Amino acid sequence: MHNFSFPKSNKLKKSRHFQFVYKRGKCLANSLAVLYILKGEGLQIGLAAGKKLGNAVVRNHVKRMMREAFRHHRTEIQAGYHLIWVARNKLVRANLATYETALLDLCRRAKILNENANG
């Protein structure tokens, strides 16, 4: 049974936290998104959708989809990391499964998926 909530403790919010992860973190990318990874306490994720993606409505939609994909797979990602997930243009018109694929691909390549995570 999965817990599909997205508690505040999983959110990376402050600008200085984002900057710290951008500066110190490792960066992985695929055609859909970029993932910055930094060792840290617990599991926190920040979501980024830049102005190039479109207006506020579009960017909020993208971030909502990203949040949902993370929520579904949070239990498969190892704790002890701060992540920033940056959307690329291809995600604007993508479905949820594509967001999930993008996230899991980056996490798998970063070797931060739990051993028992299927895939």
| 31 located within any domain | yes
| 83 located within any domain | yes
Question: What is the number of structural domains in the chain?
Answer: 1
pLDDT the model gives residue 7: 79
Interatomic CA distance for residues 42 and 23, integer angstroms: 19
Neighbours of 70 (CB within 10 A): 21
Confidence label for 101 from pLDDT (cuts 50, 70 and 90): very high
State the maximum Cα–Cα separation within the chain, in Å, rounded to a whole number: 39
Q: Tell me the sheet residues that pair with 48.
A: 86
Domain containing residue 68 = 27-109
Confidence label for 1 from pLDDT (cuts 50, 70 and 90): very low
For the entire predicted model, the pTM comes to 0.90
pLDDT the model gives residue 8: 84
| 5 located within any domain | no
| 44 located within any domain | yes
| 20 located within any domain | no
Interatomic CA distance for residues 58 and 92, integer angstroms: 7
Neighbours of 26 (CB within 10 A): 12
| 7 located within any domain | no
Q: pLDDT by residue (tens digit) across 8-64?
A: 888 998 999 999 999 999 999 999 999 999 999 999 999 999 999 999 999 999 999
**Shortest CA distance to 82 belongs to which of 30, 16, 31, 29?**
16
Q: Report helix, strand and coil shares of the chain as percent, to nearest 5.
A: 45, 25, 30
| 80 located within any domain | yes
The domain that holds 71 is classified in CATH as: 3.30.230.10
Is pLDDT at 118 greater than 60 in this prediction?
no
| 97 located within any domain | yes
Interatomic CA distance for residues 19 and 48, integer angstroms: 12
